[in-house]
Amino acid sequence: MSPRQSPYGLADAVRRILGHPGEVRAILWARLTGKRLRARQKLAALMGIDHRLTLPAQILERFPPDQMGLGDDIRMVGDGVLVAGAPARIAAIFDAEPNLQALYGDALVQDRPGDPVWPLLPPVFDADRLAALDYLGPVLAYRGSALAPACDPLSPADAAFRIAERHGPRAIGHLPEILSIRRGGPSGATPPAGEGGRIHHRVVEAHLGRTGRAGARIVVAPDSLLRVEALLPDPRPLASLIVPTRDRLDLLRPCLDSLRSCTDWPNLEVLVCDNDSREPETLAYLRALEGEGRGHVVPCPGPFNFAAMNNAAAARARGRLLVFVNNDVEAFRPDWLMLMAREALRPGVGAVGAKLLDGEGRIQHGGIVLGTGGLVTHGHRHFPGDAAGYGAALRATHAVSAVTAACLMVEAEKFRTVGGFDAEAFPVDFNDVDLCLRLNAAGYRTLLVPAAVLHHREAASRRWTPEARTRHAREVAALKERWGPLLAQDPHYHPGFDPDLSTHARLRPGFPEAGPVRLRRPPA
């Protein structure tokens, strides 16, 4: 049930271990002192993680096909087969939830007889992810009254789009237990090809037309995923790039150079939040930055307060778009800002994040997941940088609970509507998580745009001290107090994954036994 824990060969793994004795000692010490989660995470950071999850073919024997079928009031669309007991579970859920119009569950998928089995563990309903690929299959059940009598949906995605348009996204629920199996077809982790791909293109095009987005362009990516490109205003609005720093010119200079030279957005301003820089070379650089008209310096004296610094710059920013960028981030693909702006300018979208790669080219940030490791963590952390991610999550734009402020875009009006970053409760840590969750609560969705890719040398400018650890503990307590119920289980992340390892890396112990199962719906 476990994936291979590293994308490297044995010889390479040995070289990595021998070449990093300090990291190995830290792993062993964490293990010996009972910090097993920390030890596993440190090992994952050293070795990397492969995201391929499979089950033995014999698992299908535990899920025989259903012989009963659904009742007259419930319809089904998809190419899967319900397992024994599933119709009764579906009927019971519909009886208990009068406002529920459609339901999908987990599935087991086998491409060919004897092949390993893929577990299909979907998140809650997400129209953006669904536009990229139909992840709801192989079976979607819905009430006969959920759609117009003459409507015969082409696919689970077609039915779900139409039901969400008619009844709202919360009318569609996900039950995190095995309800169906599919043999001899592609796994739900990859987009359909051939006729299936053409059908999904038609479904998405029709959905955009019905929802007033007919002007959006549908692009077929090389991996067959669909990308919906919203129209951009003409002329392009001003984007304010906000970069906090304290000295560290070795980071700041390449960061700003990359933002200027590798960003194809025509209308930019740069604001550097200076937190008491003292080094003569840094001060000279900042003076030249302003003197040559390449940026503005916002003085932010006093104790380091990341949230307050960003708020101060945002108050001076003139742009419609605020783009918060850490000083240890570097752009290397010119389209990163445009890809994020297409989403951030949509009325119902709040914060937008990018895919970030660490110094070794692995995933550093693929969205923020709540609840894993007991608090929060970055999605797909330490996976290979070119990995598709589980369910194409590292390639398809999709909803997440939060994104990191290392590279976060939001419209200035939306940012100010929720009061910006909370500089009192979260001066350094979790201010990005808190901002996203407050935007979500205000009705704005948070999106990850994996096609926007940048490098991030995480915490390269950060030093831990006893005072910093004490402050961090206070912020952990504040996050739990304010958002405790949400930290129990992220709606965009499946409970079937092991919560004690990097996300999407391993199935939880005992899978696929469901245990207590609760119906999941998109956030209100």
- If one counts the domains in the chain, the total is 3
Tokens of residue 114, six digits: 């004897």
Q: Are 72 and 126 in the same domain?
A: yes
- pLDDT tens profile 248-289: 999 999 999 999 999 999 999 999 999 999 999 999 999 999
Q: Are 279 and 340 in the same domain?
A: yes
Q: Is residue 4 part of a domain?
A: no
pTM for the whole structure? 0.90
- pLDDT beyond 90 at 146: yes
CA distance 336 to 325: 12
CA distances (Å), 24 to each of 18, 35, 349, 459, in order? 8, 14, 42, 20
Tokens of residue 205, six digits: 């095009």
Q: How confident is the model at residue 513 (pLDDT cuts 50, 70, 90)?
A: confident
Q: Are 218 and 310 in the same domain?
A: no
Chain CA centroid to CA 137, Å: 20
- pLDDT tens profile 63-121: 999 988 788 899 999 999 999 999 999 999 999 999 999 999 999 999 888 899 999 99
Domain that holds residue 345: 239-488
Q: Is residue 504 part of a domain?
A: no
Query: Which helix or strand (DSSP H or E) is residue 321 part of?
Result: strand 321-325
Give the contacts of 4 (CB within 8 A, at least 6 positions apart).
50, 52
Report the pLDDT value the prediction gives residue 509, as an integer from 0 to 100.
87
Q: Are 140 and 278 in the same domain?
A: no
Instruction: Indicate the SS3 state at residue 303.
Output: coil
CA distance 356 to 333: 12
Residue 75 · residue 144 · CB < 8 Å: yes
Q: Is residue 518 part of a domain?
A: no
- pLDDT beyond 90 at 311: yes
Cite the DSSP H helix spans in 48-155: 86-96, 127-132
Q: Are 102 and 39 in the same domain?
A: no
Q: Are 288 and 191 in the same domain?
A: no
Report the pLDDT value the prediction gives residue 239, as an integer from 0 to 100.
98
CA distance 345 to 412: 10
Q: Are 381 and 283 in the same domain?
A: yes
- pLDDT beyond 60 at 5: no
Among residues 229, 255, 287, the one where a domain terminates is 229
Tokens of residue 407, six digits: 């590279």
Q: Are 87 and 187 in the same domain?
A: yes
Residue 364 · residue 460 · CB < 8 Å: no
Q: Are 30 and 116 in the same domain?
A: no
Whose CA is closest to 505, among 413, 404, 369, 400?
A: 369
CA distance 114 to 97: 39
Rg (CA), the chain: 24
CA distance 507 to 511: 6
Residue 243 · residue 325 · CB < 8 Å: yes
Query: Phi-psi bin for 445: left (phi > 0), alpha (psi -120 to 50), beta?
Result: beta
Q: How large is the average pLDDT for residues 24-31?
A: 70
CATH number at residue 140: 3.90.550.10
Among residues 176, 197, 229, the one where a domain terminates is 229
Report the pLDDT value the prediction gives residue 183, as an integer from 0 to 100.
87
Cite the DSSP H helix spans in 127-268: 127-132, 156-167, 194-210, 249-261
Q: How large is the average pLDDT for residues 413-427?
A: 98
Residue 409 is classified by DSSP as: E
Average pLDDT score over the chain: 89
Which residue do the tokens 């840094």 mark? 282
Give the contacts of 382 (CB within 8 A, at least 6 positions apart).
44, 45, 48, 49, 362, 363, 502
Q: Is residue 217 part of a domain?
A: yes
Tokens of residue 348, six digits: 């119902």
Report the pLDDT value the prediction gives residue 1, as an integer from 0 to 100.
33
Query: Which helix or strand (DSSP H or E) is residue 16 part of?
Result: helix 10-19
Q: Are 348 and 438 in the same domain?
A: yes
Q: Are 283 and 429 in the same domain?
A: yes
CATH number at residue 389: 3.90.550.60
Q: How confident is the model at residue 500 (pLDDT cuts 50, 70, 90)?
A: confident
Give percent of the chain with pLDDT exceeding 90: 73
Q: Is residue 102 part of a domain?
A: yes
Identify the sign of the CA torsion 389, 395, 399, 401: positive
Instruction: Indicate the SS3 state at residue 140.
Output: strand
- pLDDT beyond 80 at 34: no
Q: Is residue 361 part of a domain?
A: yes
Q: Are strands 445-456 and 349-357 parallel, antiparallel or unpaired?
A: parallel
Q: Is residue 386 part of a domain?
A: yes
- pLDDT beyond 60 at 16: no
- pLDDT tens profile 152-164: 999 999 999 999 9
Q: Is residue 32 part of a domain?
A: yes
Of residues 411 and 192, more confidently modeled: 411
Q: Are 297 and 222 in the same domain?
A: no
Among residues 196, 229, 262, the one where a domain terminates is 229
CA distance 228 to 130: 11
Give percent of the chain with pLDDT exceeding 70: 87
Residue 146 · residue 103 · CB < 8 Å: no
